Amino acid sequence: MVSMKDIAAKCNVSVATVSKALNDQSDIGEETRKLIKKTAREMGYFPNSLARALRTNKSYNIGVLFVDEGRSGLTHDYFSRVLDSFKEVVEDNGYDITFINCSKKRPQRMSYLEHSRYRGFDGIVIACIDFTDPEVLELSNADIPLVTIDYMFNNRSSVVSNNYGSMATLMEYIVKNGHKKIAYVCGEDTAVTRNRLAAYYKVLEDNGIEVPDDYVMHGSYRSTSKSEAFTDKLLERKDRPTCILYPDDYSAMGGLNSIHKHGLNVPEDISIAGFDGINIAHKIEPKLTTIRQDTKAIGEMAALKLLSLMERPKSTVEEQLMVDGTLEEGKSVAKI
């Protein structure tokens, strides 16, 4: 294994000079710095992470707390794209990421905070979890730089999709196309769901539209089976809706299954709309009307905010950042 002593001998300089060059310290000539770095690359030198951690009091490791109750894990289209964008930015800045152990089946497991302390994370990002879990609350109150995605703690930075504004845009588009009987198979009772529901009712109210209370059904995010079952109930009504909204594009596939099972077609017999703008929304026929969430921007903003909190804590403020979605009209909402 190549050491700094080997590089020093090759460049005919001291070990201290090699250390300064590799750590970009200012009291060294630029030509010497370039020579040492070039030699280190050619010799295959890699700094010892433990030694670097001891020297800088940093692990250069970021913890990721991600628990998907739907058990889709990193195949979850929305969050996987957000985390991929996050990962790209932090890795470009010299950090690794490690998933915090979330399994509660082990008899002597550590809490989220204990695991974070054990790993020595410089910062933490939290996404897709039960934010009311006491262990999550304990972690949010700890003295570790932290950013949440799609959830806001009062004392912590967060990056959230503009769920209220995006749903309002989608609803206004549907109403503009003449629909007044609009049902909503929404997700579980979360902050995201509540914001979307508020926008749903506000647009109906603004346009003088009343719908039956049971036009709104609480399903689950990314559940085709629940969406199909609720769509069955809506289609069997005498006053069935002309348009059905789903909590995400994946769930909308369950709605399509029900519609086809009833011998109906989209959008000729009934209109539908999803949310998220995942790839599958562009593959089906007709192309799904949906809101495309800017997962790249969400991941990048979360990464940059966390990097700032870790590296410039005195000058970085805790804040909530919001990212707008974009309406993709598709072909699944008819004009009536």
Query: Could you read off the pLDDT of 251-262 as tens digits, one per residue?
Result: 999 999 999 999
pLDDT for the residue 71:
45
**Dist CA 130 CA 135 (whole Å):** 10
Q: Model's pTM, two decimal places?
A: 0.80
DSSP state of 288: P
pLDDT at 252: 95
Mean pLDDT estimate for the chain: 90
Secondary structure tally for the chain: helices H, strands E: 13, 12
Helix crossing, 249-261 with 224-235: angle to 10°? 40
**124 near 142, Cβ under 8 Å?**
no
pLDDT recorded at residue 191: 86
- By mean pLDDT, which of 24-33, 168-177, 178-187, 216-225 is the weakest? 24-33
* Confidence category of residue 69, pLDDT binned at 50, 70, 90: low
| 4-47 and 163-293 agree in CATH topology | no
Question: What is the C-alpha to C-alpha distance for residues 304 and 310, in angstroms, rounded to an integer?
Answer: 10
Residue 169 has pLDDT above 80, yes or no: yes
The fraction of the chain above a pLDDT of 90, given in percent, is 68
pLDDT confidence of residue 75:
58
CATH class, 4-47 region: mainly alpha
Spatial CB neighbours of 203, under 8 Å, sequence gap ≥ 6: 168, 171, 172, 175
For residues 291 and 161, what is the distance between their CA atoms, to the nearest angstrom?
11
Q: Is the pLDDT of residue 123 over 50?
A: yes
What pLDDT is recorded for position 195?
Answer: 94
Higher pLDDT, 52 or 160: 160
The pLDDT value given to residue 142: 95
DSSP symbol at 186: E
Q: Is the pLDDT of residue 70 over 90?
A: no
Residue 134 neighbours by CB under 8 Å, 6+ apart? none
**Predicted confidence band at 275 (pLDDT cuts at 50, 70, 90)?**
very high
Q: What is the pLDDT of residues 188-212, one digit of tens each?
A: 888 899 999 999 999 999 999 999 9
Read off the tokens for 242.
């002309």
107-111, 135-139, 170-174 — which is least confidently predicted? 107-111
**pLDDT score for 131:** 87
List pLDDT tens digits, range 16-68: 898 888 877 778 889 998 999 899 889 888 766 555 655 667 888 999 998 75
Give pLDDT, residue 74: 57
Cβ burial 158-175 (10 Å sphere, 16+ → b, else e): bbbbbbbebbbbbbebbb
pLDDT at residue number 284: 85
Q: Averaged over 132-155, what is the pLDDT?
A: 93
Q: Rounded to whole angstroms, how far apart are CA atoms 89 and 282?
A: 27
Residues 328, 258: Cα–Cα separation, whole Å: 23
CATH architecture for segment(s) 163-293: 3-Layer(aba) Sandwich (3.40)
With H, G, I as helix, E, B as strand and everything else as coil, classify residue 109.
coil
Give strand pairing partners of 233.
Answer: none
pLDDT of residue 20: 85
Per-residue confidence (pLDDT) for residue 257, from 0 to 100: 95
Mean pLDDT across 75-95: 88
Domain ranges within the chain, ordered by starting residue: 4-47, 61-161+296-323, 163-293
Q: CB neighbours of 247 closer than 8 A, spacing ≥ 6?
A: 185, 186, 187, 193, 196, 219, 220, 221, 227, 275
In angstroms, the CA 180 to CA 199 distance is 15
Residue 231: pLDDT over 90: yes
Confidence class for position 181, pLDDT limits 50, 70, 90: very high
CA angle 166, 170, 172 (to 5 degrees): 115
Residue 100 DSSP label: P
Write down the architecture of domain 61-161+296-323 according to CATH: 3-Layer(aba) Sandwich (3.40)
The answer, yes or no, to whether the previous bond of 267 is cis (omega within 30 of 0) is yes
Selection from 127, 78, 153 nearest residue 320 by Cα: 153
Q: Is 119 exposed, middle or buried (0-12, 13-18, 19+ CB in 10 A)?
A: middle
Average pLDDT score over residue span 172-186:
98
Of residues 231 and 284, more confidence is placed in: 231
